[in-house]
């Protein structure tokens, strides 16, 4: 599988049921663990921002949205890219600067893109994707399609002007947009309470006269239901919604950050509600998955990621010729 068709197929598979959602979350965790290790081992040049702990948000959003909806998301985007459908090989190859990567190896970890599943180039500037999603929603509105746009951003972005301006514009024009704040408790190295005076970012929706909802970001099905509701509202012409996913970032901000600022016990408290472990238990309790089947899935995912690493490592790096391409559209 390669290219756009592979992404769409993976996306459709995600929509096939609860076990597929589990597999998708497990894939993100395994992928991110490996990526983090590769950077620590010096196998990849530069920096990366991983999303372990936040998998339910990525998978819940991708399960609720259509591949024809436009998505903008942040530089902590590997999980979203995988959940939206991009194959691990395409993402890993991009992170490793290889020509078979999603941007031909010219973007790197922070810049993934796959328009076949609606993902615009991911944003390395905090908040920048928020008004851009409003604009993609404007396209749907002006053209009269039933498309929608989703902006995924962190809690840190709720304090930058683009958040206010993007939500305000979407609200006055009643754009079919869903604004999803992934509140992982830290904006880069700073805890949210240091930078943000409100307990819930969702409360800020009141400023724009739109619904705001706090959502348990550790539960993939709760996330999916909230996003599906907001998308239905958007498609019905009722305007945008602000969803705040309460979640937790297991890793530091970036490769260089070991998160020594984290208070004692905080990680353990969140890990008790780990989105993958809890969902695995639930599916087994509900009789949809056996322990053996779960292990088979996990082995399959591990093999897929190992194969992606082998293939990406052997692939050609982006060339000097490549870096002169796509500066201008013809």
Partner 1 sequence: MRKMRMNQAIAAALADEMRDNPDVVMFGEDIAVAEGPFKTSAGLLNEFGPSRVRDTPISEMGFLGAAVGAASTGLRPVIEIMFIEFIGVALDQLVTEAAKFHYLSRGTVTVLLTVRGSIGAGLGFGCQHSQTLESWMYSTPGVKLAVASGAHNAYGLLRSAIRDDNPVVFLEPRALYAKREPVQRGEEGIVPLGEAATVREGSDVTVVALGAMVPAALQAAEAAPWSAEVIDLQTLVPYDKEALAESVSKTGRLVTVEENPLTGGWGGEITAFVTGDLFSDLKAPPVRITCPDIHVPYGKELEQRYMPGPDYISGQIGALLDTGTRPPHWWESREVMA
Cβ 135 to partner 1 shortest distance, Å: 2
Write the binding mask 138 to 177 for partner 1: x where contact by CB under 8 A, - elsewhere.
Answer: xxxxxx-----x-----------xx-xxx-xx--xx----
Cβ 94 to partner 1 shortest distance, Å: 10
Closer residue to partner 1 in complex, CB, 141/247: 141
Told to check if 303 binds partner 1 by CB under 8 A, we report no
* Residues 6 or more apart in contact with residue 330 via CB below 8 angstroms: none
Q: Are 174 and 157 in contact (CB under 8 A)?
A: no
CA–chain centroid gap for 155, Å, is 14
Closer residue to partner 1 in complex, CB, 166/212: 166
Closer residue to partner 1 in complex, CB, 37/172: 172
Structure tokens at 324: 């002169």
Q: Report d(CA 143, CA 141) in Å as an integer.
A: 6
Cβ 180 to partner 1 shortest distance, Å: 15
By residue count, the chain amounts to 330
Write the binding mask 172 to 201 for partner 1: x where contact by CB under 8 A, - elsewhere.
Answer: xx----------------------------
Please work out the total of residues on this chain that contact partner 1, with binding judged by CB under 8 A. Answer: 45
Contacts 24+ apart (CB under 8 A), 123-128: 123/72, 123/73, 123/74, 123/75, 124/74, 124/75, 126/74, 126/153, 126/154, 126/156, 126/157, 126/160, 126/187, 127/153, 127/157, 127/160, 127/161, 127/162, 127/163, 127/166, 128/162
Closer residue to partner 1 in complex, CB, 67/217: 67
CA angle 209, 211, 71 (to 5 degrees): 105
Helix, strand or coil, per DSSP, at residue 286: coil
Closer residue to partner 1 in complex, CB, 314/327: 327
The Cα-based distances of 315 to 27, 95, 97, 195 in angstroms read: 22, 12, 9, 43
Closer residue to partner 1 in complex, CB, 306/323: 323
Structure tokens at 67: 């591949």
Cβ 101 to partner 1 shortest distance, Å: 9
Region 53-92 residues binding partner 1, contact defined as CB under 8 A: 70, 72
Q: For 85-132, list the strands marked E by DSSP.
A: none
Region 100-139 residues binding partner 1, contact defined as CB under 8 A: 102-104, 106-107, 111, 113, 115, 120-121, 123, 125, 128, 130-139
Cβ 181 to partner 1 shortest distance, Å: 17
Binding site for partner 1 (CB under 8 A): 70, 72, 102-104, 106-107, 111, 113, 115, 120-121, 123, 125, 128, 130-143, 149, 161-162, 164-166, 168-169, 172-173, 325-330
């Amino acid at each position: 599988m390669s290219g756009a068709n592979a992404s769409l197929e993976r996306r459709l598979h995600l929509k096939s049921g609860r076990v597929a959602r589990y597999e998708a979350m497990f894939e993100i965790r395994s992928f991110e663990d490996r990526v983090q290790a590769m950077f620590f081992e010096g196998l990849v040049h530069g920096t990366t921002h991983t999303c372990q702990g936040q998998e339910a948000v990525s998978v819940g959003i991708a399960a609720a949205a259509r591949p024809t909806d436009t998505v903008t998301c942040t530089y902590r985007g590997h999980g979203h890219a995988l959940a939206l459908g991009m194959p691990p090989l395409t993402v890993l190859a991009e992170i490793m600067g290889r020509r078979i990567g999603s941007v031909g190896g010219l973007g790197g970890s922070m810049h993934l893109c796959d328009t076949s599943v609606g993902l615009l180039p991911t944003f390395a500037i905090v908040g920048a994707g928020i008004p851009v999603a409003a604009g993609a929603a404007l396209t749907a509105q002006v053209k009269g399609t039933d498309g929608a746009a989703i902006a995924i951003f962190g809690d840190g972005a709720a304090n930058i002007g683009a958040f206010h301006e993007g939500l305000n514009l979407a609200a006055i024009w009643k754009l079919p947009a869903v604004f999803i704040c992934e509140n992982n408790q830290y904006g880069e190295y700073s805890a949210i309470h240091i930078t943000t005076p409100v307990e819930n970012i969702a409360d800020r929706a009141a400023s724009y006269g739109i619904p705001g909802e706090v959502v348990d970001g550790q539960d993939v099905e709760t996330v999916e239901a909230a996003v599906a509701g907001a998308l239905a509202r958007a498609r019905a012409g009722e305007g945008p919604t602000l969803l705040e996913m309460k979640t937790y970032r297991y890793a530091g901000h970036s490769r260089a950050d070991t998160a020594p600022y984290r208070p004692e016990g905080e990680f353990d408290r969140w890990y008790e509600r780990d989105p993958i472990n809890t969902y695995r238990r639930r599916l087994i309790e509900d009789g949809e998955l056996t322990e053996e089947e779960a292990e088979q899935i996990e082995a399959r995912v591990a093999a897929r990621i190992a194969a992606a690493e082998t293939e990406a490592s052997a692939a050609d790096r982006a060339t000097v010729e490549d870096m002169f391409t796509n500066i201008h559209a013809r």
